[in-house]
Amino acid sequence: MAISLEGKVAIVTGAGRGIGKSIAKVFAANGAKVVVANRRESEGQGTVKEIEKAGGEALFVQTDVRAPRDIGGLVEQSQKRYGRIDILCHNAAIYPNVLIDDMSIEMWDDVLDTNLKSAFLLTKACAPVMRKQKRGRILFTSSITGPTVAFSSLAHYGASKGGLNAFARTAALEYAAFGITVNTVSPGSILTESVAKLLGPEGIKETAKVIPAGGIGKPEDIAYAMLFLASDEAGFITGRDLVVDGGQVLPESPEAWRRAEE
């Protein structure tokens, strides 16, 4: 089955690096016109240049996903350039690692605003456009951290992703009658610049040891999952969370995995 996004317009937030950049490039490589939404201009423009160099089409819109005014401008510029919005892929997120005892209220609010409130703002801005078109795909990058497992020093991040999954299910229910699907993709450990900084070289090695598929995932692993959910072929899938983790959360314990290998 060849998946194509030919003729589709996709907004991808946090597309300046890591998973978001990979999603933007994969969408463009499969025919989509991509609106690269990113807070840092240099990163966002870099993604646009890479897409154009590969023969794709992209537009950069500097966007702080915490700011309603920026999101309004993002939707306005996307429609002005391309006349429609078919796919919203909200990937932007932050996860400063701080223990609960040391976490400030300001840091908690910043993480929840960036990771969760933004999903609400983006959905409210894009859904009316999709309703008029009688079709749309809303996709969120969630995580196994929060909805499935916990990570010490990431209580704010885990809370935001748990809330994101709950929001997506309700949005899926409310928009289903308009031909709009809403789904989440939950990455396990994916080797991005941010994860490398969080875990460090030794942490990466230790994490890789407990992933049954044989190592830490690549940003492209998430991008291709998003590609399928963004496609026409996924039109009857909504309100679901697709875990892409190489089996990371499957073993009950390291011992359970060792027994399976024997």
By annotation, the residues acting in catalysis are: 157
Task: Tell me, rounded to whole angstroms, the distance of Cα 150 from its chain centroid.
Answer: 19
Rounded to 5°, angle at Cα 132 from 128 and 137? 70
Distance CA 135, CA 237 (A): 13
Q: What's at 65, amino acid-wise? A: V
